[in-house]
Amino acid sequence: MKLVRFGPKAEERPGIWLDNTPAPGQASILDVRAMAFDIEDFNAHFFAGHGLARLANLLREEHPALVPAAGLRLGPPVARPGQIVCLGKNYAAHAAEFDAEIPDAPIFFSKAVSALNGPYDPILLPREARRVDGEAELAVVLGRRAQRVPESAAFDYVAGYTLLNDVTDRDAQRTGRQWYRGKSADTFGPLGPFLVTRDEVADPHNLRLFQRVNGHSLQDDHTSRMLFKIPFLIAFLSATITLEPGDILATGTPGGIGSARQPPVLLRPGDCVEIGADPLGLQRCSVVASA
């Protein structure tokens, strides 16, 4: 299933994206709340309460409540997770372009939940920001509470996968000597377009992940090159930190970021940033100056 949240900002409704419905080349969204009024949103309560199984049952009903997808705004496919845990330098090529130090253990940091943005919403550049670029990342969404999970069982705790653009203000990141502020400005977390359920992603370590700016390829790599794989990350984190349903784990970005290029390719008002991976879809965001 491809889970989406659609509608105006802060008023999104939960839905299921249906390709080639009602006709080839068209798309519809099954309006979940119209069929199951008690499913308020794709939030922690939903994931913890066997919500994915309920959605599968809705798809089998004879008269689904469908709305045409064309023209509808999509919000982040997860409703305000408890935490966004990010991973730094999880690809050797990115570690080399960042500071040349390959980590021997995962480097975790957090990104503010308030940074989340829809997959087609504009990215707002703060007035003082001069060196901002994007980072294409595979993000894992937890489907169950995870405490001391062994690697062998880690995938059982995954609800699905989505795309995160870990937009970063490099000056704030470096001068502040910590990453939280530089990565957490409002709109600096485009997420989606879809949350693709685990059963539809045969191997999350076999995905081509890319970033384009104004049609120019910056990042184009493969999730097989992660230094630390998803089962290890879940086991490592949950050994001491409880992960809750709906939490997001961003698995790091490959090499090729714009700020590491010569000359740098930095985001400017008017730019178009695309992040993609099949079958997770493609997000496309314009860059605008903050008012």
- What is residue 98's predicted lDDT score, i.e. its pLDDT? 78
Separation between Cα atoms, residue 269 and residue 83, nearest integer Å: 29
Average pLDDT over every residue of 13-29: 96
Question: Any residues with CB less than 8 A from the CB of 227 and at least 6 apart, and which?
Answer: 89, 90, 91, 92, 95, 102, 103, 252
For residues 284 and 273, is the Cβ–Cβ distance under 8 A?
A: yes
- What is residue 176's predicted lDDT score, i.e. its pLDDT? 73
Classify residue 140 as exposed, middle or buried by CB count within 10 Å of its CB (0-12, 13-18, 19+): buried
Domains detected in the chain: 2-75 (no CATH), 84-289 (3.90.850.10)
Express each pLDDT in 94-151 by its tens digit. 988 877 788 999 999 999 999 999 999 999 999 989 999 999 999 999 999 999 999 9
CA distances from 87 to 63, 64, 91, 206 (A): 43, 39, 10, 18
Per-residue confidence at 178, pLDDT binned at 50, 70, 90? confident
Higher pLDDT, 199 or 176: 199
pLDDT at 159 over 90: yes
Separation between Cα atoms, residue 237 and residue 106, nearest integer Å: 9
pLDDT at 59 over 80: yes
Q: How many residues does the chain have?
A: 291
Per-residue confidence at 263, pLDDT binned at 50, 70, 90? very high
Per-residue confidence at 55, pLDDT binned at 50, 70, 90? very high
Express each pLDDT in 194-236 by its tens digit. 999 999 999 999 999 999 999 999 999 999 999 999 999 999 9
For the record, the structure tokens of 135 come out as: 């980072």
What is the average pLDDT value for the chain, to the nearest integer? 96
